[in-house]
Amino acid sequence: MAFAPRLLLPPRPPTPPPVSSSSARAHNGGAGGRTAPELSGPTPRVVVVTSGKGGVGKTTTTANLAASLARLNFPVVAIDADAGLRNLDLLLGLENRVHLTAADVLAGDCRLDQALIRHRSLQGLHLLCLSKPRSKLPLAFGSKTLTWVADALRRSATPPAFILIDCPAGVDAGFVTAIAPAEEAVLVTTPDITALRDADRVAGLLECDGIKDIKIIVNRVRPELVRGEDMMSALDVQEMLGLPLLGVVPEDSEVIRSTNRGVPLVLTDPPTPAGLALERATWRLVERDAMTAVMVEEQERPKKKGGFFSFSFFGG
């Protein structure tokens, strides 16, 4: 039987005053000239970023949501829940600073604050890796591993506003561990039938686990292909999955450069199309909002027989 370990926490200092939203960094995506979105719901909010299929941009999305939240003065802990193939540290430029992990905290070898890695330029962003490569998580921890970590972060001296969990691909034990503490989910998919079949399956599993607040980010959209009916639009994807849209991210060549530099897209100057889309998605995440999908130049799209809805790819 799994048991809850005694997580070592640092002494609790006096509670600092809350950060005023007026001191947040100015952002041109806000409505009515607001400089920051209005945080909805109690904190910390635990959000799992998942996809089912690998390679759709889930870790890139997690890194950029976390960086954008920190820029808006919302403290965030980004957790890489992949025990064997972590990559979130690379995208945040922190790969050389991972010395202690959640596994060390759960084993009682260090305090939780010692395993949290602060980002160099974003004071409110911390990274926590589940374990080191080529190391195995003790079986006694079970699927409640991240639940204990999330509870410890809630009880910490300065709890974050958000806990973002980068879920591993697939729906095996790593998936179960990653979604266990989550109250919300961001489902990342690309507009192709293989990714959508997996996303539909994952959405069902999330709902079975009690996670009802699920929003989708459609990644790597190419408007020119959508106009020619060679790619599904965000509206097509939304209708197929039956979930609200958090964001639509266009294909962007800057993603590769951003990944190789270890600098999230939302921090690049000048901003890129994908970076701007992810910033807007962050605002919606904070406010529990959704966007309305619009068919790209629907009136100009040629009428073809058949199409994406002429067959079912979810069955079988």
pTM for the complete prediction?
0.84
Alpha helices in 26-184 (DSSP H): 58-71, 88-91, 102-106, 112-115, 145-155, 173-179
Helices (H) and strands (E) in the chain, counts: 11, 8
Angle, vertex CA 288, rays to CA 189 and CA 68, nearest 5: 70
User: How does strand 162-166 pair with strand 76-80?
Assistant: parallel
Q: Tell me, what's the pLDDT at 67?
A: 98
Mean pLDDT of the chain, nearest integer: 85
Report the C-alpha gap between 209 and 253 in whole angstroms. Answer: 36
Backbone φ and ψ for 260, nearest 5 degrees, come out as -70, -30
What is the pLDDT tens value at each position of the chain, 316 positions in all? 444 454 555 444 444 444 433 333 334 444 456 788 999 999 999 999 999 899 999 999 999 999 999 999 999 999 999 987 889 999 999 999 999 999 899 889 999 999 999 999 999 999 999 987 656 655 456 688 899 999 999 999 999 999 999 999 999 989 999 999 999 999 999 999 999 999 999 999 999 999 999 999 999 999 999 999 999 999 999 999 999 999 999 999 999 999 999 999 999 999 999 999 999 999 999 999 998 876 544 444 444 444 544 334 344 4
Taking only the tens place, the pLDDT of each residue in 132-185 is 765 665 545 668 889 999 999 999 999 999 999 999 999 998 999 999 999 999
Report the C-alpha gap between 3 and 151 in whole angstroms. Answer: 14
Backbone φ and ψ for 256, nearest 5 degrees, come out as -65, -45
| Structure token digits, residue 99 | 């010395």
